Each structure stands twice: as structure tokens, then as C-alpha cells.
Amino acid sequence: MTQAKSFPRGGVYPPDTSALSRLEPLTNAAVPPRAIISMRQHAGPPAECIVRPGDGVREGMMIGRAQGPRSAHVHSSIPGRVVEIMEETVAGGERCQAVAIEMGGEFDRSGRAGEEREWQALSRFALLGKIQSAGVVDLGGTFQPAHLALASPPGGAVGVLIANGVESDPSLSCMSALLREKAREIVTGLRIARKLLAPSRVVLVVGEADGHLVPGFERAVDEAGEEIEITVVSSKYPQGDAEQLAATLLGGRRAGQGTRRSVSATVGHAEDRHVVVLAVGTLLAVHEAVALDKPLIERVVTVSGSIVRHPRNLKARIGTRIEELFDECGGLSAPAGAIVLGGLMMGRAVDSPNASLTKTVSGVIALSAKEARVPRERPCIGCGRCIDACPWGLVPTRLYKLAAHGRCDAALAEGLAACSECGCCAFACPSRIPLADGLGRMKGACGAAGKIAEATA
Amino acid sequence: MKQGSEIVRGLASENPLFVLFMGMCPALAVSTRLLTSLWMSLAILCVLVASTLFSSIVGLFARGKGARARWLASLFLTACFATCADLLLGFFAADAHAALGLYVPLLAVNCLVTGRAEMAARGQPVGRALLAALGAGLGLAACFTVIAAAREALGFGTLTLFPVGRFTGTLVIAPLAASPARAATFACGGFLAAGYLAALAARLLRRGAGSGP
Amino acid sequence: MSGTGASVVPARPAPHVRGAVSAPELIWSAALCLLPASAWGILVFGTPAAFVLLASIGSALVCEALTALLRREFTLLDGSAFLTGLMVGCLLPPGAPIHVAAVASGFAIVVVKQTFGGLGRNWMNPALAGVVFARLSWSEAFAVPVSTRWSGPGLAPLDALAAALPGPGSGGRGALETLAAAGYPVSAADGRVVGWLNARLAPLGVALPPGAFDLLAGIRPGGIGEIAVLLLIAGGVFLAARRVIRWQLPAVHLATFALLAWVFGGLGAGRGFFAGDAVFHLLAGSLLLVSFFMATDPVTSPLTPAGTIAYGIGLGAATFLLRFYGSMPDGAPLAVILMNCTVPLIDRYAKPVRLAAPRGGAR
């Protein structure tokens, strides 16, 4: 492979700090003594809490019921007793509940991998039911409930099913760990997805840094007797974004063509086929849900940072406190200036280590005090680097100025709705203007005013 | 916001040059020498007062006769007085008249003068019209003087005033006169002076604070 | 109170990592690339040039500090005041009085930049506007013959050319030949090098006019920073290679100007089409300095590469018109100021191609 493919425009090359954690083997994190599980760990309405303080719960028991078809169930990740139901405000200003569980009692499935059940004979409806009841969400991208992504799209067959093995951020390496150690399970997940969607093509995409994992994966594919293409793409950020991935593989398209995206990347083509993108972590969860009857109660998360003593990927239970995740990795060698949930480009900073792991957190990064210093913001000098960097072809500096004056309609007319808040513009800005944040707030304000029709409620 | 008497309003809150931005053409074109500007302000003041006064008198009689008639009348009156001013200036201050050239006759179509005359012809009471014109004229004169003083000082290094006795009328500001910035006497200098003074006036009158981008 | 992490409004927004280059670095590197040319100017013109530069830079720094103080900021460290002062000094002749340098610089900073809101808000290049103001106000300072270290007193080549003839160009002769015929000063080195080259090139029938070496080496009267053409080109190439400036702008500007000067430049002198003295006009005057360092000022140039190319073409055309048919002998500063006014219009229409449909789904 001489020049790995990449998406057509824009993109930046943030420093690749994934090497800190990539080379370590995937480790199972210790079960937390206390888990705090939020009712909203997905895109869509939060789940409704169905337990009360004092109730005993078992590992894998449903503690939150999905509200409506666009929501997902939430399960307890540890056995024990519910001690408290807290109210919390999630990003976006909504309030939802979080359940605090104190560990106790027996584990149903500690350590054992469990027997694989036969699933080939199940109908598609039954498969989707299993996936839905396991509370699986798309772990790598949109965090939509997976049963929506895996349902056949109306009005057309699925053209391409893309298994996204590209890291969503250069500071993370959870995809790498999954590809290396869970190849067989991912292939099984792909087989299940293939049965559900019946695509013409199935492609696994990996980033350049993981190119050496391709032979191992090919072996797993051959063993399963499946026909799966494997492609290596460049490591330019945001390659892991579903739309950019589809553009890389199938060619980009201009704004205004094709149908609006629902839960998967929809790229207009001559045949107007649908494209479904699923992260490999999601495929693993699908495999566990269908073949092992195991709900989504743990996930692979990258714990990294220059001040973390032993950065690595952990398979940790949902609800584990972030502080405990750092303890698993040998603790911090210096006081953290900031802790980021997610990757460094799009993650959210939290101000205390009492936060806990949810299905939507792919990485936890500790920044030193020096790294966490907010640089001095200077006026925009009109250099145009943000425009060069934007993968969507927007003009971030102009949108930022419109946002500063609250001009919703003008901003939407100039393409604000296409912004994915990837952060390329702010990364490239020499004046250190928080462009992505400003655009994101504007999008939120426009959405709250009802001006963007969202695909999900 | 009609506070204060008409005259004060003409000087400050409805200052024609820096608040209403009317009558700017002579202000930018001829304000290169202080003495010339003083004569010009006097001319504008007289034409303004006279045409407003007589237009309001005409307005008293022309009520109900239609807008066109009123307008013709006020324009005719303004032109008359502009011509008178031109001739009188030529008689009393020949060099100022030569320096001003076309701008005095052009007062016939000066927006400030014709605007005030038209307003007076519409039925403004004579006394009020007179005071308003006086205020506007004085306001204009004051601003004119400031601009001219600045431009002449920077652009020539002198200040020209009326000769009195042994005083020739020209104050020479030595350091500026040695190497004056002639661009101040060009159009750009006029616009710059007017712009900054307008900003200063806005600041002093607390206008424009809070008018967004 | 423990939450699940998503409940906290972030005090520091994403991204939590930033690209390497910062705005002050961009500005200081532009200043650094201009220093060699300024140093050459001081070498060639002596201490008066140094005083002019000190005055312009000092005045810029003081004015910026005072006006920024009104906004309760301290902005000297971002390098833009220093760069503006340096650019003003580079455009002024070495014989300019100190107060002219100081006022030009002060005008640039206070009137053109700070009055409109400081860095990033000016719509006209401050240094060029300051120098044009100085040229209009104190035109006698620009018409004083200056001598260099190695050649006698004379005017800047374009001024001398304009003085030697009624129109730009020559009556059938090239620009340098016209200047030589009018007794334009050349250095001894030029005599030797051109003589040596002409001896070698005689069989080919090519004869270099006297003054060609001086023009290239930078030994001639003119603005302090505009004479060292090779150092300016080197500085500009370095800036373009480091992606501080967009390379398309000076490339398209100079190419368009050279093309127009070659095709139409000889018309005024009666030599017909395709006979213009493009090389002379590229090297004489402040064209290279203005093109590499001032036209490329990001604040007053378009945002996108496509817009930059349109801007460059407009600049080339404007420079040609103003230099060959305008009243000032060197039209490059005026051309940039003129095109600066068109930049918002260019930005309105030169937008990148947008990708993808509106995004659905919240995070």
C-alpha cells in the first residue's frame, strides 16, 4: 500500500499519542465497588429508571427501560444494592437520573466467557430483539441504539456495510485493542449484521497505524468463511467519522445531494444505495448480545495521558468511577490539570475524577497542568486555516462570527447544520479561537429553537 | 428626545455636521483655512436663517396649496438668498469669495438649507423655525471652525484669522509650519477630521453606545 | 456530588490539543524574514536609514501600547506593531525626516488599525496606508536624491524614469537605457560586472544595459527595504515554504503584472505590443516588497485559496494600471490599498465546496 486513501478535503494531523496505550495488551479492569449508572448513555430519550433505593440488582439486570423506540435499555454492570437515585444534568441541559449501586452478592458470569449460543437459526426479528434487549448502542460514532442501525433502511437495500476500525481520535487506541484481541468476535458480529442487513459489500476499515493487524484479522475472516474486504486508510483526523469514512471509500459528494442521514451514513450514489457504518466495538457488543445473551455492561476504554503511569486499554464495567480507572493504570504521576472523557479533539473536560464510565465514553485522558492550560485567545487574523482544515467545506470563521451575533438563520444557510464539531478548525486556528465550541453552541441554540430538524428526537 | 431649547439642540443633540451628517459638502471641501471657513459659516448661517424665516412665512400662506408649490417656493427663496450671500461676500471679502468659489452659490441646493426651508414651509411656527435655523447654523459654524482649525494647523502650520491692527491675521505654528502634513488639506484629511470629531461628539453626547455591530 | 461525567459544563472547550503554529509566531516570522532586507538597506544607506527604521518601529510600538491601553490590553508581544513599524520604515526613503517616519507609523497604527478595532479588524493594509499618507503629505521627502554606499546621488529608478521622460517607458529604448542616457548613477561594481557579461554575451548579440547588476544586487536609491530584491525574494519564498503566507498570492500577482507589463508596457513609449520592460518593472520600485510582505497580510487578503488567486489577478492588473498610467511613479502600494477594498466582495463569492447533507443525531 503506497498512499493510503483519505477523505477528499480538509482534516488535520493532531499529535498521535495513541502509542502510549496501543502497545499494551487489553486488560480487564477490576470490578468497581460502587457503580454510578446514568439513564442516558445514548442518543435519544433517556431510559426510565425502574429500580428504587434499596432494591437488590443482579449483574446484567435491566435497571432502566427504554422510553420509546429511539431509546435504549440500561443494565446494571455489577450485582448489589441500589443505594441512591441521583438527578443529574447531562450535556444539553436535560435532566436525567443516575443509579448508584453498591456491590454485593454473586457474579453470574465473572471470568467465564460463557457458551456461545446458536444464532444462525434465529429470525431477523428475533436477532434485533436480542440486540435491543441487551441495550446495545453504536459505540464508535453516533451512540444511537444499535437495533435502529441494524434494521433494514426503508426504501432500498444496503449497499455497503462498513465496519469502522479506525480510531475516532489520535489519542485513543481502543479500536486497535479490539482488532488485535477480539477479531473472532468482531467477525461474528459482522456475520450477524450481514444477516440483518443483507448488504452487497462488507468492508472492514482500519487506520494506517493498525495495518500490521490486517493479517491476523484476515485469518479470523478466513476461519469464519466470510467474504469481508479489508481496507487500510490514512490516519488523517477525522477519518473515524462515519461520513468521512464513507466519502473515503465511496467518493465524496456535494452538499444537497442524497438523502438526509438517519442513523447511518447515507451517501448518494448512482444507485442511491444506503451505507451503514458500525464501529467494531458495536460489533463486539452485538456478538455478545446475540451469542452470549450478555447485555452491554462493559466496554473497552483507552486510559491515557502523559501523567498516567501505565496507560493502556481497559475492558471496564459501565459505571466505574474515572478515578478507579486511573488507579488500574498505576495512578497519576502528577496532579491532573484536566480530565477529558473521549478523545482530545472532541472530548468533554470534567472537573472532578468522581465522574464515571458510560457507554458513550471511548477514552479517558489525563492532561498535566501544563497541557491543560488554555492558550490566550487572539483576534481572528483571517488566515483561512480553519477553512482549509474543515472536512465539510464550511467557513468556520464566518460561522463563528454569525454565532457570536446569534444569527441562526444566516448560519444555517451557510451550512452550520453540517458541522460535526470535529474540532479541526479550532485545532488549526493560530489565534486559538474556540471555533468548534462556538459552532456547537450555536447548533444547540438553533436546535433548541427548532430550526434544525433532528433525525432523532 | 426633544430636550433643551432649539438653539442648544442645533449645537449639540441635533448638530448638523456630527449628528445628522447634513451639509457636509462645504464642510469637507472648503475647511482648509480657518478664515475662509468662518466666512463660509457666516454665509451658511445667514442663508439658513433667511430662507427658513421666509419659507415659514410662505408656509403660513401656502397651506393647502400642495407640496409642489411649497417646495418650489422654498427652493426659490433659498436660491435667492444664496445668490445674495454670494454677491455680498464678493463685495465684503473678496479673497474669501475667491477661495470659496462655487460653494456659496451651491448653498442653494445644500441639503441642510433646503431641508430646513422645506420643513419651515410645511407649517412650522415662524419663531421655532427661526430658532432651529439659528441653532443649526451656529452648530454648523462651531464644527466648521474646529475642522478648519485642525486641518489648517496640520496641513499648513498656520491659523488664519481676521487681521486686526498690526496683527496680520496669520498665526504661524512654527513646528508644524516647517513640515506640514499636506494630506490634511486634501479630501482624505477632511474625512478623517470629520470622522474623528463625529466619534468624539458621539461619545460626548452618549449616542451610539450600545448600537451593535 | 458525583455524576457520570457528562453532567458538567466544560470549562475548557474541545479540542484539548492545538496545532503547533500560533498567530504571534506567524507575525514574528514575517518580521524576521523582512529583517535581512532592512539590514541591507542600513548597510547601503548608512545611519540615516537606521534612524528612520528606529523611528518608525519605535513610533509603532508606542502608539500600539497607548491605544491598546485604552482597551486595557497589552498587545505588543504579538508582533503586529513591530511588523507594521518595520514595513513602514522599509518603504520610506533613507532621507526621510524622523518625524515623517514617526507620523507615518503612528498613522498606520492609530488611524488604520486601532481606530477600526485593532488586530484583525483593519480593512486596509496599515503600513501601506501610512506610507501613502506620508507620500501625499511630505512629497518633498520622497523627491530628494539619495546616494548609496557605492554609487552617487540619484532618485529612485521609477521616479527618475518618470522625470526623464513624459511617459513610462522610453522612446524606443528600454528603461535602463533611458536612465543611463539621463545620467543615472551606477556603482563601479556594476560597471565591471556588466562589462564582463557583455563581453561574454557579445557573440549572442545580447547587451545588458548599465545598471542591470545594480538593480539585481540592490545598490540603488529607493525605499530602505525595497532595494534588496534577492533578499526579499528569499524571505518571501521562506515564508511561503513555511506556510506563513499563501504562495498563490505573490505568484499570481507577479505573474499577472509581468505578463501585462510585457504585453502592454511598451505601448506608452511607442514600442508596440510585447515589448514592455517587465523585468525592470518587477525589480524596480517596491513591487517585490509589497507583493511578498504586504499584499499577503492575512487580515486584508481573502480567506480561501481560490479567492486569493482572484485577488492576485486583480492586484496584478491594478499594479500595472497604476504604475503605467497612474500619477504616482510606483503604483504598487496604491494597487494593494485599492484591492483591499474588494476583499469582502471576493470573500462573499469565493467559498469552498460544501460536503455532505445536514447531520442528524445528538451526542
pLDDT digits (tens, 9 = 90+) for A372-398: 888 999 999 999 999 999 998 999 999
Amino acid A269: pLDDT: 37
Section A270-296 average pLDDT: 83
Contacts of B164 (CB under 8 A, 6+ apart): none
Banded model confidence at residue A267, pLDDT cuts 50, 70, 90: very low
Q: Compare all CA atoms of chain C with the CA of A425 and give the residue at the minimum distance.
A: C15
Region for C120 from its dihedrals, namely left if φ exceeds 0, alpha if ψ lies in -120 to 50, beta otherwise? left
Q: How far apart are CA A162 and CA A158, in angstroms?
A: 11
Q: Which of A18, A88, A351, A383 would you mutate first to test chain C, the one with the most C CBs within 10 A?
A: A383
Q: Which of B181, B186, B196 sits opposite C103 (nearest CB)?
A: B181
Of A177 and C152, the one with more pLDDT: A177
Least confident piece of the model among A80-89, A161-170, C316-325, C335-344: A80-89
Mean pLDDT of B42-55: 90
**What pLDDT, on the 0 to 100 scale, is given for residue A270?**
33
- Strand partners of residue A103: A80
Domain segments of chain C as ranges: 23-142, 149-165+182-200+210-221, 245-348
The per-residue pLDDT for A1 is 39
Mean pLDDT of chain A: 84
Q: Flag if C15 and A436 touch (Cβ within 8 Å).
A: yes
User: Any idea which residue has 482624505 for its cell?
Assistant: B188
> Can you read off the three cell numbers belonging to residue C79?
508582533
Distance from CA of C143 to the nearest CA of B (A): 15
Using a CB-CB cut-off of 8 Å, the residues of chain B touching C136 are: 182-183, 186, 188
Q: Rounded to the nearest 10 degrees, how much is the dihedral formed by the CA atoms of A303, A308, A312, A317?
A: -40
Which grid coordinates belong to A129?
Answer: 430483539
pLDDT bracket for residue A155 (50, 70, 90): low
Mean pLDDT in residue range A111-129: 79
DSSP string, chain B: ---S-HHHHHHTTT-TTTTS--SHHHHHHSTTSHHHHHHHHHHHHHHHHHHHHHHHHHHHH-TTS-HHHHHHHHHHHHHHHHHHHHHHHHHH-HHHHHHHGGGTGGGGG-HHHHHHHHHHHTT--HHHHHHHHHHHHHHHHHHHHHHHHHHHHHHTSEEE---BTTB-SEEE-HHHHHS--GGGGSHHHHHHHHHHHHHHHHHHHT-STT---
Confidence (pLDDT) at C272:
79
Asked if pLDDT for residue C334 goes beyond 50, the answer is yes
> Is pLDDT above 90 for C311?
yes
Between strands A56-57 and B170-172, the pairing is: unpaired
**Helix pair C248-264, C305-325: axis angle to 10 deg:** 30
3-state secondary structure at position A226 = coil
> C-alpha cell of B169?
491675521
Residue C12 pLDDT grade (very low, low, confident, very high; cuts 50, 70, 90) = confident
In this prediction, residues C338-353 reach a mean pLDDT of 92
Cα-only R_g, chain A: 21
C-alpha dihedral over A288, A292, A297, A301, to 10 degrees? Answer: -40
Amino acid of residue B158? T
Please judge whether C103 and B186 are an interchain contact, meaning their C-beta atoms are less than 8 angstroms apart: no
* Separation of alpha carbons B36 and B156, rounded Å: 14
Average pLDDT for C199-215? 85
C50 compared with A225, residue with greater pLDDT: C50
The Cα C336–Cα C308 span in angstroms is 13
| pLDDT higher than 70, residue A259 | no
d(CA A301, CA A341): 10
Query: Where along chain A do its domains lie?
Result: 121-291, 385-448
- What pLDDT sits at residue A276? 85
- pLDDT of res. C30: 95
State yes or no: pLDDT of C4 exceeds 70.
Answer: no
Chain mean position to CA C175: 22
Judge whether residue A257 has pLDDT over 50: no
Average pLDDT, chain C: 88
How large is the average pLDDT for residues B11-39?
A: 85
Mean pLDDT calculated for residue range A351-367: 83
pLDDT in tens, C225-243: 999 999 999 999 999 999 9
pLDDT of residue A352: 55
DSSP structural state of residue C253:
H
Give how far C256 is from chain A: nearest CA, Å: 23
pLDDT at A260: 35
Of the candidates A142, A350, A427, the beta carbon closest to that of C15 is on A427
pLDDT at C360 over 50: no
Q: How far is C154 from chain B (nearest CA, A)?
A: 23
Contacts of C214 (CB under 8 A, 6+ apart): C151, C186, C187, C189, C190, C220
CB-CB under 8 Å, C13 with A360: no
Which has the higher per-residue pLDDT, A52 or C1? Answer: A52
Q: Considering only A25-39, A219-233, B163-177, C83-97, which range has the smallest mean pLDDT?
A: B163-177
What the block records as the C-alpha cell of A152 is 433494514
pTM of the full structure: 0.88
Please, which pLDDT band fits residue C5 given cuts at 50, 70 and 90? very low
Average pLDDT over residues C82-110: 95
Rounded to two decimals, the ipTM of the complex is 0.86
Residue with cell 468662518: B38
Residue A17 carries which side chain, given as an amino acid letter? T
Phi then psi dihedrals of residue A63, to 5 deg: -115, -10
Residues B113-160 pLDDT 10s: 888 888 888 877 888 888 888 888 898 898 889 999 999 999 998 888
Q: In whole angstroms, what separates CA C76 from the centre of its chain?
A: 22
Q: CB C187: neighbour CB atoms within 10 A?
A: 21
Contact A427 C21 (CB under 8 A): no
Closest-CA residue of C relative to B183 is: C137
Is the predicted pLDDT of residue C23 greater than 60, yes or no? yes
CB within 8 Å of chain B, chain C residues 108-127: 111, 115
Asked if pLDDT for residue C133 goes beyond 90, the answer is: yes
pLDDT band for position C295 (50/70/90)?
very high
Candidate from C9, C15, C299 with C-beta closest to A344: C15
- What band does C363 get if pLDDT is binned at 50, 70 and 90? very low
CA dihedral over A224, A230, A236, A241, signed as positive or negative? negative
Question: CA B74 to CA B76: how far, in whole Å?
Answer: 5
Among A14-28, A97-111, A365-379, B181-195, whose mean pLDDT is lowest? A97-111
Please report, as a single letter, which amino acid is at residue C80.
S
Q: What pLDDT does C172 receive?
A: 64
Strand order in the sheet with A34-38: A34-38, A95-103, A80-89, A56-57
What are the chain A neighbours of C23 within 8 Å (beta carbons)?
378, 381, 383, 430-432
Residues of B in contact with C55 (CB under 8 A): none
User: Residues near A356 by Cβ (< 8 Å), separated by ≥ 6?
Assistant: A35, A36, A37, A38, A319, A320, A321, A322, C2, C3, C4, C5
The CATH superfamily of A121-291 is: NADH-ubiquinone oxidoreductase 51kDa subunit (3.40.50.11540)
pLDDT for B161-171, tens place per residue? Answer: 887 777 777 88
Give chain C positions within 8 Å (CB) of B188: 133, 136
Please list the residues that pair with A340 across neighbouring strands: A349, A365
Q: Which DSSP string do the residues of A347-365 spell out, in sequence order?
A: PEEESSTT-B--TT--EEE
- The answer on pLDDT for A33 being more than 60 is yes
Instruction: Return the residue matching grid coordinates 495513541.
Output: A18
Q: Answer whether C138 sits within 8 Å of B188, measured CB to CB.
A: no
Q: Residue A264 above 70 pLDDT?
A: no
Q: C112 or B16: which carries more pLDDT confidence?
A: C112
Interface membership of B161 toward C (CB under 8 Å): no
Task: Taking residues C174-193, report their average pLDDT.
Answer: 84
| A112 has a pLDDT exceeding 70 | no
Nearest residue of chain C to residue A143 (CA atoms): C363
